[in-house]
Structure 1
Amino acid sequence: MGYSMHRKVLLVEDETIVRLIGSDALSDAGYEVVEAGSADEAIRILEAIGEVQVLFTDIRMPGSMNGLELAKLVHDRWPTIKILLTSGDTFPPKDVIPDDGQFLPKPYKIETLAQKVDDLLSR
């Protein structure tokens, strides 16, 4: 079980229900999940706990920056963190997602979410 401790996902989603579903799915898949309700909260968490392996963030969020801006900032400050973005209405072209990050359109299947995170970490 020690392996999953090295697999920490920061899940950033302003809708509580969606965040809980994603968190449960990732926990069931063996990931340690840290949750944030906004980009600002996500940055505070990263500053406090340091590295996570994957940032999984919704693009459209309230606060000082959206998920895409958060992804760029995280990539600049913590370049080893893999990026996974999601949205139901904003579909960014591949070249605007930092560092070969991935995009998962909403609504997504929970199995697909875990698979995407696995894929990112196996690169």
Structure 2
Amino acid sequence: MNAPLRVLLVEDQEDLRELLADVIQGTGAEVRTAETANAAMALLHEGYCCDVLFSDIHMPGTLSGVDLAEHVQRTLPAATVILASGHPRFQLAPLPGSALFLQKPFRLNQFMELIQPRP
């Protein structure tokens, strides 16, 4: 049996964070949540390894979702990195490496398609 997918979900909107966490857990995946990139970075520095990082780009704190994505791509190169924003992609700075982009608001099925493990 395969180990459950480990998802690090970073979102400052509490309602959205809780909804997405519930949906992911419903698939049997393990979810850790953080409301800021700083809190997520602390989890990673404590040794948490994720298979998928989902993060909003603009959040309170000193780190952005892009900072977090760059760190995960350096330290966990096999992880899928998904960045989300309410701003259209053309208004944003270039995304790091192989990061995927999800425009807010999004549908749950769009979100779930992105976090599914790649063969």
TM-score, with structure 1 as normaliser? 0.84
**Correspondence for 2:69:** 71
Residues 48 and 82 (structure 1), Cα distance of their counterparts in 2 relative to 1, 3 Å cut: same
Alpha-carbon distance in structure 1 between the residues aligned to 2:40 and 2:18: 16
Listed one character per residue, the Cα deviations across residues 13-68 of structure 1 (whole Å, up to 9, x for unaligned) are: 11111101111111122321100111111011112243110100001101011111
Matched, 1:83 2:81: yes
Runs of 4+ in 1 over 4 A off after TM superposition: none
* SS of residue paired to 1:35: strand
- Structure 2 counterparts to residues 77-116 of structure 1, below 5 A: 77-91=75-89, 96-116=94-114
Could you say which residue in structure 1 is the equivalent of 2:20? 22
2:11 maps to 1:13? yes
> TM-score by structure 2 length?
0.87
Give how far 1:98 is off.
2.6
* Structure 2 unaligned regions, length at least 5: none
Give the fraction of aligned pairs with identical amino acids, expressed as a percent: 31
Aligned alpha-carbon RMSD (Å) = 2.2
> Any stretches of 5+ residues in structure 1 without a counterpart?
none
2:118 match: 122
Q: In structure 2, the residue corresponding to 1:96 is in which secondary structure?
A: coil
